[in-house]
Amino acid sequence: MESFDDDRTAEAFGLLAEMSKSGQVIYLTHHAHLCDIAKNSCPSVFIHELQS
């Protein structure tokens, strides 16, 4: 999703949310703004942040 604009990213997270209805979906990123988009696209998302 690095090359996606915010609208495309939101659509992709929507697809991941649909996929999560039938199995576990794990998406890893170090881009904090993607977490905000994920929260807006799928309010039930669980975001786990690793400590440095």
Q: What is the DSSP string of 4-52?
A: --HHHHHHHHHHHHHHTTTS------S-HHHHHHHHHH-TT--------
34: tokens are 């993607």
**14 touches 1 (CB < 8 A):** no
- The residue whose two tokens read 């975001």 is 47
Q: Is 46 left (phi over 0), alpha (psi -120 to 50) or beta?
A: beta
pLDDT at 10 over 80: yes
Task: Kindly report, residue by residue over 17-51, the tens digit of the pLDDT.
Answer: 999 999 999 999 999 999 999 999 999 999 999 88
